[in-house]
Structure 1
């Protein structure tokens, strides 16, 4: 009996020391992401599924994940890194985690 109690106690301690899985990635709303893209991105990028970008050097959203995976874009936006903008900096926006998930959902919806 004493041995069983020790084994159960050791198992509980072992389970408590296991790393906890990170929370699942937030599921964004493509509709909310479209509104954010219109507000913050459309002055330079084509945010729709077709057409050229207003700024010829700004990549259209419909192909942006060919060069940068969606998770890398999300991480870069969360860290405040302005990827791929060269000499023309991206507008200074501090997106929330929910807004980033919305933008990534929208990006996924317009990929070709």
Structure 2
């Protein structure tokens, strides 16, 4: 399956989440089903569900997600963006 085929199989919400991830996250994180992250310290999004339920990110995304390293920008998403982003992350499980 090509990346285009995979993207076409996503729901509209998952596709919007993918666009957000491509625009804001893919410079550091792998947002694909395979392959390493461009920044070795940044976990691939497909592995996040192994660390914790991705739904647990909803509150952090709404309040402004912060991390322990200074190179990650702070993001604060609108409720519809959060739903789309979580839907995309779940599509990688």
Question: 1:89 Cα shift?
Answer: 4.3
| Partner secondary structure for residue 29 of structure 1 | helix
Further displaced range: 91-100 or 55-64: 91-100
Gaps of 5+ in 2: 1-11
Match of 1:8 in 2: none
Question: 1:104 Cα shift?
Answer: 0.3
CA distance in 1, matches of 2:63, 2:75: 11
CA distance in 2, matches of 1:87, 1:34: 24
For residues 13-92 of structure 1, the aligned pairs below 5 Å read 29-82=13-66, 85-92=67-74
User: Larger Rg: 1 or 2?
Assistant: 1
CA distance in 1, matches of 2:78, 2:70: 23
Query: What TM-score, normalized to structure 2?
Result: 0.79
CA RMSD of aligned residues (A): 1.6
Gaps of 5+ in 1: 1-27
CA distance in 1, matches of 2:61, 2:17: 13
CA distance in 1, matches of 2:73, 2:40: 17
CA distance in 2, matches of 1:93, 1:81: 5
Match of 1:106 in 2: 88
| Partner secondary structure for residue 55 of structure 2 | helix
